[in-house]
Amino acid sequence: MSTSGTNDQSRERLIALVLLLQSVFPEGTLSQDEIVRNLEIDAYPESAKGPQKVRAYQGSDAAVRQKFERDKARIRELGFEIDTLASGDGNVGYRIDPASGYAPMIEFSADEERVVQMALRFCGFGASGVFSLFNDGPASDGGLEFTNYYTPVLRALHLRRALSFDYQSSTNKNRVVEPLSVGLFRGATYLVARVQGTDEVKGYRFTRMTSMPLVLAGGFEADEATQVIAQAWRPEFSKSPRPIDVVVTTNENYADLLVRQFPGALAAQKKAGVIELGITFDSPRGALRFLLEAADRVRLQSPKSLKVELAEWLRHVNRAKAPALENVHFAGPATNDVLGQTLQLLHAVYLSDEGLRVSELAKRFSMDPGLVRRTMDRLVSFMPMNGEFGYPAHVIKECDDWENEASDDSTYRAEEFDWTGAVENSPLMWRDLFELNIALREASRVYAEPALESAISKIEATTRAFVQVELTSNESLLGVVQEAVANEEQIKIHYTSGVAEKSQVRTIEPREIKVLNGHTYVRAYCSTREAWRTFRVDRISTILAKSPATEERPEDEVANWLTQVGNDGDEVVVVVEGHLRWLFETLPNAQWTTLEDHRHAVKFRLADETFLDHLMLQAGDGAVVATPKYAKAGHELAKRMAQQL
Distance of alpha carbon 16 from alpha carbon 33, whole angstroms = 16
Q: Which of 494, 550, 563 is nearest to 523 (CA)?
A: 563
Query: 93 near 29, Cβ under 8 Å?
Result: yes
Q: Which of 578, 559, 575 is nearest to 616 (CA)?
A: 575
- How does pLDDT run across 42-59, given as a tens digit for each residue? 666 555 555 677 788 888
Report pLDDT for 427: 75
Q: Looking at the domain 478-560, which fold is it?
A: SH3 type barrels. (2.30.30)
Report pLDDT for 381: 59
User: What value does the mean pLDDT of the chain take?
Assistant: 84
Report pLDDT for 2: 39
Per the omega criterion (within 30 degrees of 0), is the bond before 427 cis? no
Domain map of the chain by residue range? 1-96, 244-315, 325-331+565-644, 478-560
Report pLDDT for 420: 43
Query: 443 near 144, Cβ under 8 Å?
Result: no
DSSP E strand stretches across 458-595: 467-469, 489-495, 504-516, 519-526, 531-536, 540-548, 570-576, 591-594
Distance of alpha carbon 338 from alpha carbon 229, whole angstroms = 41
Report CA 476 to chain centroid distance, whole Å.
26
Top-tier CATH class for 244-315: alpha beta
Rounded to an integer, the average pLDDT of 341-366 is 87
Q: Which of 314, 269, 275, 270 is nearest to 291 (CA)?
A: 314
Report CA 464 to chain centroid distance, whole Å.
21
Q: Is the pLDDT of residue 409 over 80?
A: yes
pTM value is 0.77
- Of 324-333, 408-417, 538-547, 616-625, where does the model show the most confidence? 616-625
**DSSP-derived 3-state class of residue 68:** helix
Distance of alpha carbon 440 from alpha carbon 260, whole angstroms = 25
Rounded to an integer, the average pLDDT of 566-575 is 82
Cα distance from N-terminal residue to C-terminal residue, the chain: 70
Radius of gyration over every alpha carbon of the chain, rounded to an integer in angstroms: 27
Q: What share of the chain has pLDDT > 70, as a percent? A: 89
Phi, psi of 558 (to 5 degrees): -100, 110
Report pLDDT for 241: 64
More confident residue, 158 or 53: 158
Q: How confident is the model at residue 392 (pLDDT cuts 50, 70, 90)?
A: very low
Residues 6+ apart with CB under 8 A from 602: 573, 574, 576, 581, 584, 587, 590, 591, 592
Q: Is the pLDDT of residue 520 over 70?
A: yes
Report pLDDT for 472: 64
Q: Is the pLDDT of residue 359 over 90?
A: yes
For residue 507, the one-letter residue type is T
- How does pLDDT run across 117-145, given as a tens digit for each residue? 988 888 877 777 788 888 888 777 776 77
Q: CA 446, 450, 451, 452 torsion: positive or negative?
A: positive
Q: Is the pLDDT of residue 547 over 60?
A: yes
Report pLDDT for 425: 55
More confident residue, 500 or 287: 287
Report pLDDT for 386: 44
What is the layout of strands, in order, in the sheet containing 266-271? 266-271, 274-281, 244-251, 299-302
- How does pLDDT run across 252-303, given as a tens digit for each residue? 888 888 888 788 899 998 888 899 999 998 888 889 989 999 999 999 999 9
Report pLDDT for 423: 44
Distance of alpha carbon 380 from alpha carbon 397, whole angstroms = 7
Rounded to an integer, the average pLDDT of 74-101 is 84
More confident residue, 497 or 3: 497
